[in-house]
């Protein structure tokens, strides 16, 4: 899936990052950017968080649920 960076307007298929800044509870900046703009934001001291795809999140949740189900012992009847 292609994405247009909200800062540099380049089309990219790389990982996406969200840059958010807040002051006194008010969001001042909320942008989804490419990896190179995320590096620039980090150099400027802004937090840049990698965005995970919905497929990856669902897969991770499925893996966690399967681990939980296999790790639980069977309840005893006695």
Contacts 24+ apart (CB under 8 A), 27-33: 31/6, 31/7, 32/3, 32/5, 32/6, 33/5, 33/6, 33/7, 33/8
Q: Say what the pTM is.
A: 0.63
Q: Please give the average per-residue pLDDT across 31-56, as a whole number.
A: 87
- What is the per-residue pLDDT for 15? 85
Q: What are the tens digits of pLDDT across the range 46-75?
A: 999 998 765 655 555 565 566 555 555 566
Cβ-Cβ contacts under 8 Å for 8 (sequence gap 6 or more): 33, 34, 36, 37
């Amino acid at each position: 899936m292609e994405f247009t960076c909200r800062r540099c307007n380049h089309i990219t298929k790389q990982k996406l990052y969200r840059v958010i800044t807040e002051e006194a509870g008010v969001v001042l900046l909320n942008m989804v950017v490419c990896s190179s703009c995320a590096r620039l934001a980090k150099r400027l001291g802004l937090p840049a968080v990698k965005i995970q795809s919905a497929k990856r999140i669902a897969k991770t949740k499925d893996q966690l649920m399967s681990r939980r189900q296999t790790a639980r012992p069977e309840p005893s009847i006695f």
